[in-house]
Structure 1
Amino acid sequence: MKNFKGLLLLVVMAAVVMFTAACGSNNGNNTANNGGDNAEGGDEASVEGSVVIDGSGTVYPFMAQMAENYMTENENVSVEVSRAGTSAGFKKFLVEEGGTDFNDASRQIKDEEKAQAEELGIDPMEFQVALDGLTFVINPENDWATEMTQEEVVNIFLAEGGVTKWSDINPEWPDEEIKPMGPNENHGTNEFMYETIMEEKDFVDSINLQQEYSTLVDLVSKDKNAIAFFGYGYYENNKDKLGAVAVDFGNGPVEPSLETIGLDDAPYAPFTRPVFTYLNVNLAKEKAQVLDYAKYIMNNAQDVAAETGFAPLSDETIEENLSKLEEIK
């Protein structure tokens, strides 16, 4: 009898253990199903794969920092950021199959690029990511041209400007030839300078146009008669090698800075422009990691802008961008 009671007790205990295990298994399945729902909604579930970005050299520091931050938080996603230049980047973006997911741009997409996108069936969605101030940099030994009017600094780069020597601007300045420099036609910064600042008038014949911004930094840092233009971020990161011209737009000289760069009534507004990234919506619909990264950009744009030498966008613009992304299903 004792043996029978002992056997009965063992059977009961085994049944309890099996019931408990079954409950635990059901709870686990419920959790997995919830995770699947999150994955479908794209909010909390992990994503994996690759994101490919090319384009503007001006936007590159912003996007490279953004990518580094994102990959730290999302180890299963690889974000590749290159800097062929805005125009060269659009050629890589506007490809029927195998184009880039994003194209960074320091200008807006052109009508002919929009037409090409439509022909290829690509839906490019534009997002402002920050504000940049076109900055004119000089050699640290240049202690005479630290302040110029808007007209004076632009005339250095104009074929019709009539300026070849520093003394042409001010007789008290050195009677030495100016060495104007800037990014080449692959870059949106070149186009912004030509189309907006110079009003589509020709560059001076002596201008030295380069593909790499790092080359421009090096050239200016070694030549006291050099002057170049590019985005504020590259100056911010090379203040130990370069000086910047304070520009007088009519109310006294204004140094480019995160405090003065801005649109509308900002002191450096005449030389301020928004910078962009363009998302291939077709690919964002196919690849969860691309859409996830786009949302990450917008949620972190203001912080990363300030970290990389850009003036941040307004809260209103950020909200508008996020609303556009929420419409992508």
Structure 2
Amino acid sequence: MKSFKNLALLIVMGILVVFAAACGGGETAEETNTGNGEATEEEATLEGSVVIDGSGTVYPFMARMAENYMGENEEVSVEVSRAGTSAGFEKFLVAENGTDFNDASRHIKDEETAKAEELGIEVKEFQVALDGLTFVINKENDWATEMTQEEVVKIFLAEGGVTKWSDINPEWPAEEIKPMGPNENHGTNEFMFETIMEEKDFVDSVNLQQEYSTLVDLVSKDKNAIAFFGYGYYDSNKDKLSAVNVDFGNGPVAPSLDTIGLDDEAGYKPFTRPVFTYLNVDMAKEKPQVLDYAIYTMENAQDVAAETGFAPLKDEVIQESISFLEGLK
């Protein structure tokens, strides 16, 4: 009888050992580390939000990037808005609850850098693509399809002396030109004013708008309208607008992903600019999803750029950004 009890006890102990082994020896997916340096399931799962605002020009690029990222990381919400570069920096550079990224179609200004230092915010600039400032006209405008750099800029200058198309070419219609563009909230406005127009005043008749979609609509309905904005908005509205081919001294150049990316005289270089996103490095250190999204953005920047109307950056520029971000881990 005693031997039977011992046998029963051994059987029960054996069952318990097998059960313990099946449960992984007491370890669970909630532990922070498996003991051999490998991340657990919980640690590998990202969650939370990433908040981005800023440039309307960069918006199509970043919106596509966010969509792609969330398709692979369902527990992370990436919110992308487009207040404009300058308005975006105001939301980015605040003491509390600022955005994680600010997209920009210009470099950060000295006063914005000073404000970041005052607030103790570490800011890092990343180029994400190349854009070409594009001048668009109505589809019915078949006379101003080619202009020199000087001619197209004169239309927007207060001192340009151009009010009618015939002021540029006497064979063109003697009708009033309707110049348009994005307003001062946008880095594109500042690029036009500071770089292209050399900080000379806009003509009084210029119609400056907050929304790029409004500009597309206005130009598509007025044969005497001409507007400027990033190439991507033209590329996605080719059925409604035509682009001016600009002669920089070596013959007319059509804006395109190929010509925007060229460094030589055959390209669109005088009207080409880099576009950026600015990262709050402190947020990247505190929130894993922000750092992960930053790395994902740079790893996929070249593909998304080409898909959204931007010329991709060179490999070395991309790799330098990725190396910096990997160093924050």
Calculate the TM-score normalised by the size of structure 1: 0.93
Q: Name the CA distance, whole Å, in 2 between partners of 1:233 and 1:35.
A: 49
Preserved contact between residue 36 and residue 45 of structure 1 (Cα < 8 Å):
no
**Residues 1:38 and 1:263: Cα distance change in structure 2 (over 3 Å):** farther
Preserved contact between residue 219 and residue 241 of structure 2 (Cα < 8 Å):
yes
Say which is worse superposed, 27-36 or 112-121, in terms of deviation: 27-36
Preserved contact between residue 179 and residue 226 of structure 2 (Cα < 8 Å):
yes
Preserved contact between residue 20 and residue 26 of structure 2 (Cα < 8 Å):
no
Aligned to 1:46: 45
Cα distance, 1:26 vs. partner? 3.3
SS in 1 for 2:306: helix
Mapping of 1:1-329 within 5 angstroms?
11-26=9-24, 29=27, 33-34=33-34, 45-262=44-261, 264-265=263-264, 267-329=267-329
Unaligned runs of 5+ residues in structure 2 are: none
Alpha-carbon displacement from aligned partner over 1:79-108 (angstroms, at most 9, x marks no partner)? 111000000000000001111100000000
SS in 1 for 2:273: strand
Say which is worse superposed, 30-39 or 263-272, in terms of deviation: 30-39
**Residues 1:48 and 1:180: Cα distance change in structure 2 (over 3 Å):** same
Cα distance, 1:21 vs. partner? 2.4
Unaligned runs of 5+ residues in structure 1 are: none
Preserved contact between residue 147 and residue 245 of structure 1 (Cα < 8 Å):
yes
Q: Name the CA distance, whole Å, in 1 between partners of 2:269 and 2:18.
A: 68
Preserved contact between residue 35 and residue 45 of structure 1 (Cα < 8 Å):
no
**Residues 1:36 and 1:264: Cα distance change in structure 2 (over 3 Å):** farther
**Residues 1:25 and 1:290: Cα distance change in structure 2 (over 3 Å):** same
Cα distance, 1:16 vs. partner? 3.0
**Residues 1:10 and 1:147: Cα distance change in structure 2 (over 3 Å):** farther
Cα distance, 1:11 vs. partner? 4.3
Cα distance, 1:39 vs. partner? 5.4
| Corresponding letter in the other structure for 1:18 | L
Cα distance, 1:30 vs. partner? 7.9
Alpha-carbon displacement from aligned partner over 1:173-192 (angstroms, at most 9, x marks no partner)? 11101000000000000000
Say which is worse superposed, 75-84 or 254-263, in terms of deviation: 254-263
Q: Name the CA distance, whole Å, in 1 between partners of 2:55 and 2:26.
A: 47
| Corresponding letter in the other structure for 2:24 | N
| Corresponding letter in the other structure for 1:14 | V
**Residues 1:34 and 1:251: Cα distance change in structure 2 (over 3 Å):** farther
Preserved contact between residue 135 and residue 229 of structure 1 (Cα < 8 Å):
yes
**Residues 1:45 and 1:314: Cα distance change in structure 2 (over 3 Å):** same
**Residues 1:292 and 1:22: Cα distance change in structure 2 (over 3 Å):** same
Alpha-carbon displacement from aligned partner over 1:61-94 (angstroms, at most 9, x marks no partner)? 0001111111111111111110000000000000
Say which is worse superposed, 188-197 or 30-39, in terms of deviation: 30-39
Cα distance, 1:35 vs. partner? 9.5
Calculate the TM-score normalised by the size of structure 2: 0.93
Alpha-carbon displacement from aligned partner over 1:84-135 (angstroms, at most 9, x marks no partner)? 0000000000001111100000000000100010001011100000110100
SS in 2 for 1:300: helix
Q: Please provide the CA RMSD for this pair.
A: 2.1
Preserved contact between residue 51 and residue 80 of structure 2 (Cα < 8 Å):
yes
Q: Name the CA distance, whole Å, in 1 between partners of 2:35 and 2:269.
A: 47
Q: Name the CA distance, whole Å, in 2 between partners of 1:174 and 1:27.
A: 85
| Corresponding letter in the other structure for 2:277 | T
**Residues 1:195 and 1:80: Cα distance change in structure 2 (over 3 Å):** same
Q: Name the CA distance, whole Å, in 1 between partners of 2:297 and 2:320.
A: 13
SS in 1 for 2:102: strand
**Residues 1:14 and 1:301: Cα distance change in structure 2 (over 3 Å):** same
Cα distance, 1:14 vs. partner? 3.4
**Percent of residue pairs bearing the same amino acid type:** 78
Cα distance, 1:328 vs. partner? 1.8
Q: Name the CA distance, whole Å, in 1 between partners of 2:128 and 2:180.
A: 27
Q: Name the CA distance, whole Å, in 2 between partners of 1:76 and 1:316.
A: 32
SS in 2 for 1:216: helix
Preserved contact between residue 56 and residue 85 of structure 1 (Cα < 8 Å):
yes
